[in-house]
Amino acid sequence: MKQLKLWTALITPMKQSGEIHFEDLEKLIRRQERAGNGILLIGSTGEGLALSASEKREIIAFADGLNLSVPVMAGVGGFQVDEQKDWIHYCNGKNVDALLLVAPLYAKPGVEGQKAWFRSLLDEAEKPCMIYNIPSRTGVKIPPSVLIDLKDHPNFWSVKEASGSINDYMEFREKLPDVPLFSGDDGLMPFFAAAGSAGLVSVASNVWPEETSFYVDCCLNGDTDSLFPVWKKAVEALFSAPNPVPAKVLLKLKGIIESEMLRLPLTAADVKEKQRLTKIDTEIINWYKNNKA
């Protein structure tokens, strides 16, 4: 698989009726392809848990037919292991380059339960797998001991660390020195990069594909002086309401998607300051123009 520094956790655009907007989906995918970014479909940013099994299959089949020049990753998230295995089996038969595996939701398994869960999914997969640590969504933290137990599995490729803790990241880095670690937090990328991050799985790149790619380059090269405070403000604006609400609202304001529609319980009504989004959009575009060599 092509090794990339940036994967975009893509939103799932919808029509006002709530149906998936496939014309806008292709537009978003092509924007990422032009920027050279990997594409993560049906993750939490893509409202994966709000999509039916048939809708998820439609999205993967649609992307499969686009003959993309960049790799595609599919999110695997839920709590019923047989359903997740069925989904992985479907993805095995498509042009999906990697899978993102998250801890089972709500159950809060212990260490041995996590090991058994991930191993069962890794065994089903025929693709490289990124394991996703995001305790704020799953209710459970993946400890390094789980990953150490899994690190020799042939399908275990990398880790997406999104606990929001630099200390947790450093512990993974220390105990898993040969496993690529990706930041799952746009705002922490400068700090993770200084500690050997392989790259970023980003929400911001939905809105700013080229700009975020350059941001990651700056982080990985240690050229971070220009990043503050503009990127701090950008991340705060994009997470001023539950993800992916602000990203969808801003994409609609920019005329890139037709509708800011989300699936309940998410709603665009939680964005109270649209002017804040348009202001930081201008600042990021100007930052890119002024700093891109």
Report d(CA 53, CA 267) in Å as an integer: 22
Our answer to whether residue 106 is catalytic in this structure is: no
Single out the residue of 281, 262, 158 nearest to residue 212, CA to CA. Answer: 281
Report d(CA 158, CA 132) in Å as an integer: 9
Contact assessment for residue 115 and residue 149, using Cβ atoms and an 8 Å cutoff: yes
| Residue environment code for 41-73, b if the CB has 16+ CB neighbours within 10 A, otherwise e | bbbbbbbbebbeeebbbebbeebeeeebebbbb
**Set 160, 215, 248, 252: catalytic member:** 160
Q: Which residues contact residue 61 at a Cβ distance below 8 angstroms, ignoring those fewer than 6 apart? A: 94
φ, ψ of residue 6 in degrees (nearest 5):
-140, 125
292: tokens are 């891109």
162: tokens are 């999104």
Our answer to whether residue 132 is catalytic in this structure is: yes
Compute, in degrees rounded to 10, the torsion defined by CA atoms 236, 167, 160, 243.
Answer: -20
Q: What is the identity of the amino acid at 102? A: V
**Set 5, 115, 132, 169: catalytic member:** 132
> Looking at the annotation, which residues are catalytic?
132, 160
